[in-house]
Structure formats: structure tokens, C-alpha cells
Amino acid sequence: MRIVPETRRLLLVNGPNLNLLGTREPEVYGTATLADIEQLVAEVADGLGYEVRAMQSNHEGELIDAIHAVREDCAGIVINPGGLTHTSVALRDALTGVSLPFAEVHISDVYARESFRHFSYLEDVAAVRVVGKGINGYAEAVRELVVLIGDSVR
């Protein structure tokens, strides 16, 4: 049985190469930085009565360790797994293993890109999925996830 944290908290996870946002392929990802995304998510979550822990790593094991570490003190996870979306069974197992609802977010429309990006190891287990809405997709994911969690402050 999962312990519901007294302090409502979400984990924001950004995977490989998302530290380059703002300069990496701006025609695909826009000019917003990772710091901009973290601020947006924190503001939206705060308005719903949640705080946010944010982390980014280019290393799969660090992402998995961060997910494991919050299993008893976060109510949900918002994750943009980057390229690991299409390759990582281990990341999927970590997310399903902690039994927290999670939202999968992609800034670009992965279905309008290369065919290998059309497959997601997380798609069928994500509680929320937001694709191709730019950084505003993160805000949408937070709002939808909090509704699913069911204890937002309004």
C-alpha cells in the first residue's frame, strides 16, 4: 500500500538531451529552456496546491533512481523521457514499479517525425499522455494528472 504524502508533491523528470532545450533544434523544440519548463510546471502545480521536485539527466540509471526515490513522498510523476521513450524497458519498469500515476509529455509531435519516434514503451501505461503541444503540454499534463490524483486544491 502506497503512503499518500502529507505535502502534495509531483516529480518532474526530463530525460536525455533536454538540458539542451533553447538551443537544440529550435525549429522542432522551440526556444524555451529547461529552466522555463521547470518554472512553468512549478507555477501550474503551485496553483493546484502541489510542489514540484525537478530533475534532468542524460543517464538512464539516474532517472530510474530518482523515480524509485519518490515512491513514498510524491503523488505522481510528469516525465518527458526524451529518446528513452523508444528504447527503455527499464524506465517503463521503474515507472510501473513505483505504482504512481504518471504523465508522459513530448514537446514535439512525435507522430509527424521519423517513424522510430512513433513507438513509446510508456504509452500504454501512462495515466496521461500529451504530445506535440510545445512546453504548454507540460502544464496540461500537470493539470490532468492532478485531476486523476483527485485531491487538488481548488
Determine the angle formed by the axes of helices 89-97 and 60-69, rounding to 10 degrees. Answer: 10
pLDDT for 151 equals 56
The DSSP bridge partners found for residue 44 are none
The string of pLDDT tens digits covering residues 71-123 is 999 999 999 999 999 999 999 999 999 999 999 999 988 877 878 778 798 99
**Averaged pLDDT for residues 19-30:** 88
Q: Compute, in degrees rounded to 10, the torsion defined by CA atoms 28, 32, 35, 39.
A: -120
Residues forming the active site: 29, 106
Q: Which residue has the higher pLDDT, 12 or 7?
A: 12
Measured on CA atoms in the order 106, 108, 113, 114, is the torsion positive or negative? negative
Binding residues: 80, 86, 93, 107-108, 117
Binding residues for substrate: 80, 86, 93, 107-108, 117
C-alpha to C-alpha distance for 126 and 148, rounded to whole angstroms: 12
pLDDT for 111 equals 76
Q: Domain residue spans in the chain? A: 9-149
Q: Give the global pTM.
A: 0.90
The mean-pLDDT minimum among 34-43, 82-91, 143-152 falls in 143-152
Find where cell 540509471 sits. Answer: 61
- What's the CATH code, domain 9-149? 3.40.50.9100
